[in-house]
Amino acid sequence: MSNFVDCDRDQAFLLPPDLRDWIPEDDLAHFVIEAVERVGMSAFKVNHRGTGSAQYHPRMMLALLIYCYANGIFSSRRIERATHRDIGVRFVAANQHPDHDTIATFRRENFAAVGESFLQVLLLAKELKLVKVGVVSVDGTKLDANGSKHRSVRYDRAGELIDQLKLEISELMARAEALDRGGEEDPQALPKAVARREALRDQLDAARRRLESQAKARAEAERADYEAKVAARAARKGRAKGKHPKPPDETPRPEEQSNLSDPDSRLMRKSKHHEYRQAYNAQAVVDAGGSQLILGARVSNCASDRNELVADIAAVPAELGVPEMVLADNGYANGDEVASLAGINIEVLVATGAEGRRRRHDFRPLKAEMPAKEAKAEWLRSMAAKLASEEGRALYKLRQQTVEPVFGIVKAVLGFTHFSLRGLDKVAGEWDLVSLAYNCKRLHKLTLEMAA
């Protein structure tokens, strides 16, 4: 005869349950709650007047966001649902259930608190002697924006569509006048059709204005260089003057695009072997000394990493110290950026050519190997010599095994592959939140290993 454990779903608790009995002592929830306690209340956006309904405690809300992001729950609706269904989330939320609007609003308005918490977690790691800002690895990864690439429109095509929509609106208005005189069409359909076309026309018009503004800003940035070329040409005599330099163009190029859903995002692709996606370029500066913590995080809407190195290093909080050496792949190979960091005593090891080797038993057809071209720039030859040394090779190997696993964990373990928010500032705030959640998860693991 089978013997089963009794399963009575109607059995009431004899004593009130304590959620602490259901959460293991080494659970991430305890670490997140303690980490958030280090954040000062001045970092939060709070209704100090005390009017209206009572607010959820901001430290609880921040801990809720961090814990959920660390466990792959990003949507405000899913976070709200998890406060009822997930024991760990319910414990962090102190058995409270903020609705998704409250969660979304708090996330959108408290990125300053996220940044302060990011710093406090790193300072905690420094106090525990788990991180030392010495050698760091830098890399970027493309993450999908909250917008479809099919909502991107070219400057010239936007103008054509605006003209087309104006004609359609005029035709609809004429039909509406005919309807007033006794037509047979549905009187409710025409106003809605006109409103849809007017809304799209306004969106396209705004996209064209954005592109025009960007073109003017680009021309203004190029003006100093243009004036220098004009002055240099004027100083030369005779035929040595050469052609007159072209002045900066303040009009957008016809092929320039703007996305109607998220104008700050751009069409990007990981490499020439991948498709174009509407995305952002998420950057991370990772400790290569063993902790693999993210020391600096920022977001760019430029697909190339060529001009990101100095800004990435500047994202490392001054309270942690200044890196001594930076490791980066060949996407960051920019002499001006390397020289800027060298000027503040930061050594850079950046690849001078594409990385990767053919496998010994490669399935692809063999191709004739092109002879390697000698670098023309002096700094490239010097960098190649550094990387060719035994010490340089050993140091550069740290880049691949430190920063790239971080992106793998963020995408495959946390499950974060696209942003929920729109606009560069909000997306940058969300990337800070993702980096904070990763750091909490990583530092929690390191502290458990220390205690073992």
Q: Are residues 247 and 351 in the same domain?
A: no
Query: Is the per-residue pLDDT at 279 higher than 70?
Result: yes
Non-local CB neighbours of 276 within 8 Å, separated by 6+ positions: 149, 267, 268, 269
Q: Are residues 141 and 172 in the same domain?
A: no
pLDDT digits (tens, 9 = 90+) for 167-204: 999 988 888 777 766 656 566 677 888 899 999 999 99
More confident residue, 55 or 65: 65
Q: Closest Cα to residue 147, out of 298, 271, 265, 6?
A: 265
Q: Are residues 250 and 296 in the same domain?
A: no
Split at pLDDT 50, 70, 90, the class of 103 is very high
pTM summary value: 0.88
Query: Is the per-residue pLDDT at 92 higher than 90?
Result: yes
Distance between CA atoms of residues 284 and 410, nearest Å: 11
For 349, phi then psi, to 5°, come to -115, 105
Give the CA diameter of the chain. 110
Q: Are residues 246 and 300 in the same domain?
A: no
> Does the residue 319 lie in any domain?
yes
Q: Are residues 140 and 157 in the same domain?
A: no
Q: Closest Cα to residue 297, out of 131, 411, 429, 123?
A: 429
3-state secondary structure of 223: helix
> Does the residue 115 lie in any domain?
no
Query: Is the per-residue pLDDT at 76 higher than 60?
Result: yes
Q: What is the pLDDT of residue 212?
A: 92
Q: What is the pLDDT of residue 161?
A: 94
Non-local CB neighbours of 16 within 8 Å, separated by 6+ positions: none
Q: Are residues 414 and 268 in the same domain?
A: yes
Please provide the distance, in angstroms rounded to a whole number, between the alpha carbons at the two ends of the chain.
45
> Does the residue 247 lie in any domain?
yes
Non-local CB neighbours of 92 within 8 Å, separated by 6+ positions: 29, 32, 33, 60, 63, 64, 67
Q: What is the pLDDT of residue 372?
A: 60
Distance between CA atoms of residues 167 and 161, nearest Å: 10
Q: Are residues 224 and 284 in the same domain?
A: no
Distance between CA atoms of residues 263 and 252, nearest Å: 15
Domain of 143: which CATH number?
3.30.420
Q: Indicate the number of domains in the chain.
A: 3
Distance between CA atoms of residues 236 and 420, nearest Å: 56
Final residue before a domain boundary, out of 259, 285, 317: 259
> Does the residue 183 lie in any domain?
yes
Q: Are residues 339 and 281 in the same domain?
A: yes
- Take residue 400 and report the two structure tokens written for it: 């691949």
Torsion over CA: 116, 122, 128, 132 (sign): negative
Final residue before a domain boundary, out of 259, 294, 320: 259
CA dist 71 to 60, 68, 103, Å? 16, 5, 16
Highest mean pLDDT range out of 45-49, 81-85, 223-227, 274-278?
81-85
> Does the residue 42 lie in any domain?
yes
> Does the residue 249 lie in any domain?
yes
Torsion over CA: 179, 182, 184, 187 (sign): positive
Final residue before a domain boundary, out of 259, 284, 310: 259
- Give per-residue burial for 284-321: e unless 16+ CB within 10 Å, then b: bbbbbbebbbbbbbbbbbebebeebbbebbebbeeebe
Query: Is the per-residue pLDDT at 208 higher than 80?
Result: yes
Q: Closest Cα to residue 138, out of 281, 276, 267, 279?
A: 281
CA angle 56, 61, 65 (to 5 degrees): 155
In contact, 289 and 131? CB cutoff 8 Å = yes
3-state secondary structure of 277: strand
In contact, 155 and 253? CB cutoff 8 Å = yes
Q: Are residues 288 and 417 in the same domain?
A: yes
Residues 270, 271, 274, 276, Cα dihedral to 10°: 60
Split at pLDDT 50, 70, 90, the class of 415 is very high
Q: Are residues 100 and 173 in the same domain?
A: no
In contact, 27 and 88? CB cutoff 8 Å = yes
Across 231-255, average pLDDT? 82
Residue ranges in 334-374 assigned as alpha helix (H): 335-342
Q: What is the pLDDT of residue 141?
A: 95
For 256, phi then psi, to 5°, come to -65, 140
- Take residue 335 and report the two structure tokens written for it: 């002499």
Q: Are residues 196 and 323 in the same domain?
A: no
Distance between CA atoms of residues 169 and 104, nearest Å: 37
Non-local CB neighbours of 327 within 8 Å, separated by 6+ positions: 135, 136, 137, 138, 288, 349, 350, 395, 396, 398, 399, 402, 403
In contact, 318 and 341? CB cutoff 8 Å = no
Across 76-105, average pLDDT? 95
Split at pLDDT 50, 70, 90, the class of 367 is confident
> Does the residue 9 lie in any domain?
no
Distance between CA atoms of residues 298 and 54, nearest Å: 34
Q: Are residues 192 and 242 in the same domain?
A: yes
Share of the chain above pLDDT 70, in %: 93
Q: Please, what is the average pLDDT of the chain? A: 89
Domain hosting residue 292, numbered range: 130-148+263-355+375-428+446-451
> Does the residue 283 lie in any domain?
yes
Query: Is the per-residue pLDDT at 250 higher than 80?
Result: yes
